[in-house]
Amino acid sequence: MSDVAVIGAGYVGLTTSVCLAHLGHRVLCADIDEERVARLSKGEVPILEDGLPELLSEGLSSRRLTFVVGARQAAARANFVFLCVPTPQADDGSADLSSVEAVAREIAPVLRRGTVVINKSTMPVGSTRLVQRILGESGASIEEVRVASNPEFLREGTSVQDFLNPNRVVIGCDDPSVAVRVSELYRSLDAPILVTDPASAEMIKYASNAFLATKISFVNAIANLCEAVDADVREVALGMGYDQRIGFEFLHPGPGYGGSCFPKDTAALRYTARRAGYAFSLLDGVVEVNRRQHERMVEKLTALVGGELRGRTLALWGLTFKANTDDLRDSPALVIARRLLDAGAHVRAYDPAAGERAGAIVPGLEIVSDPYEVCIGAAALSVLTEWDEFRWLDFDRVRDALEAPVVLDTRNLLDPGALRRLGFTYEGVGRS
Ligand SMILES: NC(=O)c1ccc[n+]([C@@H]2O[C@H](COP(=O)([O-])OP(=O)(O)OC[C@H]3O[C@@H](n4cnc5c(N)ncnc54)[C@H](O)[C@@H]3O)[C@@H](O)[C@H]2O)c1
């Protein structure tokens, strides 16, 4: 059992905290957000994540999990300090490491001899050395405090499951004995552990996310081509996916990727490539296809309502960047909603998890709390997030509420045949 500090109680930090406590470690999780710490200390989970409430409650009642305000207090007692703070996109596309740097400066003076600081936030190549340097400059002994990269690959919506059943654990460190100590934290997990140099570990995270983004843009491009030649992208993706070299995952066309990771991580990797003098035109293409895919959804909707959005009422189902999360960061649905509003439409939306917050983020977006009510008098309905509950709604009611029975299904979630039999005009992505 180790004493672990986790700095940042967001999607990654909170998941890391509850899971490490579940694995038997003593975990002190710190955040700067006092309200978040107070709520977590009472067992209230501030984010939607399957399995988190149960493990939070388990950690609190076993007293292996505690929450504090401020990184310093947590780091002072730890053998391992996980940095799980945000690394958002800066204006030039690079990863903004200011939170990481601030935490490193804050904790440096209190770190105990032998402590390992672990970069779990997604940070570009060179960050392990950067954190080591800042710790040294801010009062930690370089010989006594070591830094390792341990990127996180969890998916929002299944973060607990992913953390406890990882495909792999990557540890980047120059010192093999430090890597072994970090790997022991994960001893009870059944996963391959890959120990690399720090730069390779940092690159593994960006390369993985860029590859997944590439798969999505690729299948979106194929979907667009399928529309032009009358093929069905679902059949195409199925036929491709049986090839084990390709696989089925991430071959679902849609409105383009979004979320808190792919957009910023692809931007940061492009920035790294520019700085390194490498023309990463493949990744440039992936990002451009994605940007165009958002636009394409707006164009489809415009065509479906007769070419003019101004003054029209439009209904949206789903605002989060994917289903089973309440995360709205860089959600394609919000990009699309803003475009529709800019074009003069009246936009009304329903989301099962994040409607209210979305309304606060997008001025002019009307939020309603019922999937039928959102449809009343709308010229078309657009499905923007693949929430499972949308499949099972009463489409007679939906049709009767809409001004015209028109559906744009950007996630290919619904059954076109069934909807057409009910009198809907249905349009999906990459299929007729
Ligand atoms: N969200 C994901 O699916 C995911 C997956 C893998 C990796 N990552 C990476 O993990 C990192 C964190 O992402 P996230 O989604 O958990 O972010 P988040 O915004 O959900 O959480 C970050 C938390 O850190 C806290 N924080 C900020 N500055 C702090 C400070 N100085 N001291 C203490 N706490 C501080 C914030 O209040 C917030 O609660 C990012 O680098 C991200 O790219 C995210």
pLDDT tens readout for residues 265-297: 999 999 999 999 999 999 999 999 999 999 999
Pocket test for ligand 1, best of 11, 117, 119, 138 (most atoms within 8 A of CB): 11
pLDDT at residue 144, as a whole number: 83
pLDDT at residue 184, as a whole number: 97
Pocket test for ligand 1, best of 261, 262, 266 (most atoms within 8 A of CB): 261
pLDDT at residue 84, as a whole number: 98
Residue located via tokens 């990463």: 280
Residue 166 phi, psi dihedral angles, 5° rounding? -75, 150
**Residues facing 172 on adjacent strands:** 149, 196
Instruction: Name the superfamily (CATH) of residues 197-432.
Output: NAD(P)-binding Rossmann-like Domain (3.40.50.720)
86 lines ligand 1 (CB under 6 A): yes
pLDDT at residue 293, as a whole number: 98
The catalytic residue positions are 261
Report, as ranges of residue numbers, the positions in the chain whose pLDDT lies below 70: 142
CATH code 3.40.50.720 region(s) in the chain: 3-166+173-194, 197-432
Q: Which fold has domain 3-166+173-194?
A: Rossmann fold (3.40.50)
Reported as half-sphere exposure (CB side, CA atoms, 13 A), residue 120 has a value of 28
Atom 33 in ligand 1: which residue has the minimum CA distance? Answer: 31
7 lines ligand 1 (CB under 6 A): yes
pLDDT at residue 301, as a whole number: 98
